[in-house]
Amino acid sequence: MKAKRFLPLPLVRGLALAGVALFSAQAFAAGEVSLYTTREPKLIQPLLDAFNKETGIKVNTVFVKDGLLERVKAEGDKSPADVLMTVDIGNLLDLVSGGVTQPVQSKTLESTIPANLRGADGQWYALSLRDRVLYVEKDLKLEKFTYEELADPKWKGKVCIRSGQHPYNTGLVAAMIAHDGAEATEKWLRGVKANLARKAAGGDRDVARDILGGICDIGIANAYYVGHMKNSAEGTDARKWGDAIKVIRPTFANEKSGGTHVNVSGASVAKHAPNRDNAVKLLEYLVSQPAQALYARANYEYPIRDGVKLDPVVESFGPLKVDPLSLVEIGKLRKQASELVDKVGFDN
């Protein structure tokens, strides 16, 4: 009978610890997701913390201010990115056309997000809305407005807006082309330029600042900035700017298809996502009731999901009827929109 051979106790303990370490590493890897985002992390951190608390999945956030597409391309199939998050439909479509995303089929995403606010093949999904609205001097008697009216000569010298080449505005111009055609849009751009109170420049908050300063009476900007301004501390410049204006949600003049123009924040699952399942879980969480409520309270963006309680400031703007035009169609017209902006010398 052969004698039994036993491993030395220290070696047994070492192997056991190694096994536990290996298991722990595997468990950790299964419980994480890497997010590449062009959004300031502090804006979305409350949502990521809530996701981690609910699912136990750790979110590794990488802030990529510029060059998201180029970075993911350079990393290739070794990229650790699972989810790619950005703002503006143009940026989302660039990720898709750049070949760094993959299609995702999810009943949760498809049943929650309207068809015009997601890719038909599941390559991108909108997560929140940014409606392009009219800032109005608070005492001005004006209750409704169409985007086309910005070119009405009665507003000569009374309109403020940021650069026409900013993605927020090229998106609006692209939507105008889709609704009214390129010729009518060029005429409209010339009319809006003639009505400018100052050079098209600055940011959206500057529109409110210049209304307070008496430079202009109206201007086009994103609604969520008003939430930030009106909820700022008493006595701050931002609060003064916010208190100087009211908001009207314009529509396109075409009553059949017109609504308020929106842009989006959104995300895609990366082509080589090492944690694909967790990436899908994160996207599904971001359109859930709790996450959409956090979007609405923390960033004052309009939720993609129906039935979410809004911040009181945003709620005061009244109902949002989203323009049903496909964002993909708008995205395809961005280049033409940019060329028109240059053609009329809008920013000169």
Q: Who contacts 256 (Cβ-Cβ below 8 Å, separation ≥6)?
A: none
Which stretches of the chain are assigned E, i.e. beta strand?
32-37, 58-63, 83-87, 101-102, 125-137, 159-160, 218-222, 245-248, 262-270, 302-303
- Rounded distance, CA 260 to CA 320, Å? 7
- Rounded distance, CA 118 to CA 21, Å? 41
- The one-letter amino acid at 183: E
Token code pair at residue 26: 């595997």
- Rounded distance, CA 239 to CA 230, Å? 5
| CA nearest neighbour of 65 among 97, 40, 92 | 40
| CA nearest neighbour of 131 among 269, 31, 241, 225 | 225
225 is in an annotated binding site: yes
- Rounded distance, CA 326 to CA 331, Å? 9
CB-facing half-sphere around the CA of 202: CA atoms within 13 A: 15
DSSP symbol at 77: G
DSSP symbol at 118: B
224 is in an annotated binding site: yes
| CA nearest neighbour of 70 among 60, 81, 59, 61 | 81
Other Cβ atoms less than 10 A from the Cβ of 59: the count is: 21
- Rounded distance, CA 253 to CA 173, Å? 14
- Rounded distance, CA 161 to CA 157, Å? 12
Bind-site residues for Fe cation: 224-225
Bind-site residues: 224-225
